[in-house]
A and B are shown apart, each in its own frame.
Chain A
Amino acid sequence: MIELEGLTKRYGEKLAVNNLTFAVRPGIVTGFLGPNGAGKSTTMRMILGLDRPTAGDVRIDGKHYDRLKDPLTYIGALLEAKAWHPGRSAYNHLLCLAQSNGIPASRVREVLETVGLSGVARKKTKGFSMGMGQRLGIAAALLGDPRIVMFDEPVNGLDPEGIHWIRTLMKSLAAQGRTVFVSSHLMSEMALTADHLVVIGQGRLLADTSMADFIAQNSRSYIRIRTPQRERLLDVLHGAGITVVETGGGMLEVDGGKPERIGELAAQHQIVLHELSPQQASLEEAFMRLTAESVEYHAHADAPARQWGDDWQKGS
């Protein structure tokens, strides 16, 4: 169990994490979602006692992180990739961590086996690929067989097989009764693994809800209609008490309702339909809507590429 209470971190003028209060419960996978720069990593660093909060409090099973006498058996954390010395072998890296917590050396071989790095255990981590690095980070997190695991963007740099592996791993860790807290900036990734969602944007809490509720609330289902006889169809649907929304490009949208009924109504009144399709708003869209105002680094997709070329031409 991780409990945050009014957790705040200020870097100079910038408020990186703003008054976060939520709890991460055992037995489920809790997804920690937010756009890049939302404060996810800063929050995780504060949980681990690496960064001191400006205000507020965070506790691990009721204790501050720096009061834990055997931290690695409490929390296993995968922070940003490659938090180790590149000249040290994977085995020695894990060994020095194990020793600092009095974990037997045999456990090092066990976790290397678990993540599939036994073959390169004596190799320097310098030559590790991103995926191997991620696996070593996960091995370090599992070293103390911890009650709580915390992964920061674990699927980064993993191949499809690796991604599948980590999803299964997180679910099985949660099924054993552990607290699993995993950050991501990809809603689609979370939809597949997380049971509970905590969404933040610009350091503020935007949502703290179960995945099922989030899907129910945000996955709007609607029917998309295209017709050359727009006015007539609008009249007919209006007459039938169905609310229609006109969207761009001559499209009509009906929230809820059954496509069969609309098709039958159109047939009765001999209206030509070019399209009648049930749609489901993706969770990715829902997430983007939720965090739209809080995205810090907007890529200006609408900025025409021409402009760039113009500048270049002026310059030459």
Chain B
Amino acid sequence: MTTHQPPAPQAAQPTWQAAAGASYPGYTSPIPVVRTHLGHALASEWTKIRSVRSTMWTLGVFVLLVVGIGLAAGALVAANASEGDLNGENPLSFGFFGLLLGSMCIITLGVLTTASEYGTGMIRTTMVACPSRGRVLAAKAVVFFAVAFVVTLVSSSFVAFAQVGMLSDARDPSGGEWFKATVGVSLYIALLGLLSLVVGSIIRHSAGAITIMIGLLLAPLVIALFMFSESLQDLREALFEYSIPSQLSVFYATSLTDSGPSGWDPLWIILGVTAAAFAGAFALLQKRDV
């Protein structure tokens, strides 16, 4: 048991007395009472995310894929391109492949941030400690988004600098292109991870939610590939244009299609989808039993 003695000076706990009132006597703790707020939940979620190995694994593999594939692509193109091949090419666009594969790691981490708590039973401990369910989801979202954004920004920027250095024949990217290929894609990938986190909160099952998100990432493109029928031409186009890989490539101005989303459209699309899913997850969280 604690070694705390029952409190002698009543004046030492004014906060408590005000909160408890006289009608509910009982033990009074010497630990100062704190009114909790989002900041406390953020600190808690930060401890959680940094203290499990799955975070290190998923982010480690993510950095490895983004940097490894990015540098390999740059080196391959630099070695094989003959004089003039790269004229007018944007050297940043070769960062796309690593980021596309790496996004699966971010999806996994996003799902695990919420769904693993349901798998382990941790969620009950979490919700008892913080009965404001919306605050828990918000804190998870903020912490995860910040981590995913920073890690993606650092690795995509590193790859971008390396590729521009390697591909000296290509043209110099404009400031706007730089911004989209670093901050833009990082926002997009972090939002994709946030959507996964929200889906994890709705599905409450890690494997199920990861499958759904990987399906969302790859299925439209794969399905479109096999739509040979003439009558499905429009649908095929739409699936191509709005598939996540295609939208991601828009940030490098090398869209897989000529029509469809362009500029910053992909970011607004995923922002809308994530916001809608977040609202749904929030409502479900309030309604369902933990």
Contact = CB atoms under 8 A, between A and B. Distances in A.
Interface string B33-48: 1111000110111011
A75 B27 CA distance: 11
A105 B40 CA distance: 13
A102 interface: yes
B131 interface: yes
A119 B106 CA distance: 35
Contacts of B34: 70, 101-103
Contacts of A140: 125
A56 to B, nearest CB: 15
A176 B4 CA distance: 10
Contact of A70 (B26, B33, B120): B33
Interface stretch (B17-25, B93-101, B156-164): B17-25
B129 A92 contact: no
B26 A50 contact: no
B29 interface: yes
A86 interface: yes
Interface string A64-102: 011011111101010110111111110010011101111
A79 B128 contact: yes
A70 B35 contact: yes
Given A84-B120, A88-B51, A100 B130 contact: yes
B250 to A, nearest CB: 37
B24 A62 contact: yes
Given A86-B120, A147-B27, A178-B27, A71 B130 contact: yes
Contact of B26 (A52, A144, A177): A177
Nearest to B289: A51
20 contacts: A48-B127, A49-B128, A49-B131, A50-B289, A52-B287, A52-B289, A66-B132, A70-B36, A83-B121, A83-B122, A83-B125, A85-B122, A87-B53, A92-B51, A97-B44, A99-B40, A99-B43, A107-B31, A147-B20, A177-B26
Contacts, number: 153
A101 B51 contact: no
B11 interface: no
A82 B48 CA distance: 16
Contacts of B122: 83-85
Interface of B: 1-2, 4, 6, 19-21, 23-31, 33-36, 40-41, 43-45, 47-48, 51-54, 116-117, 120-122, 124-132, 287, 289-290
Contacts of B30: 145
A39 to B, nearest CB: 14
Given A89-B51, A95-B47, 18 more contacts: A26-B25, A45-B290, A51-B289, A79-B128, A83-B120, A85-B48, A86-B120, A96-B47, A96-B48, A100-B43, A101-B36, A102-B36, A104-B31, A110-B2, A147-B20, A147-B26, A173-B1, A178-B27
Which bracket fits the contact residues of A? 35 or more
B36 A69 contact: yes
A107 to B, nearest CB: 7
A99 B45 CA distance: 9
Nearest to B29: A145
A1 interface: yes
B121 A80 contact: yes
A65 B132 CA distance: 10
A112 to B, nearest CB: 12
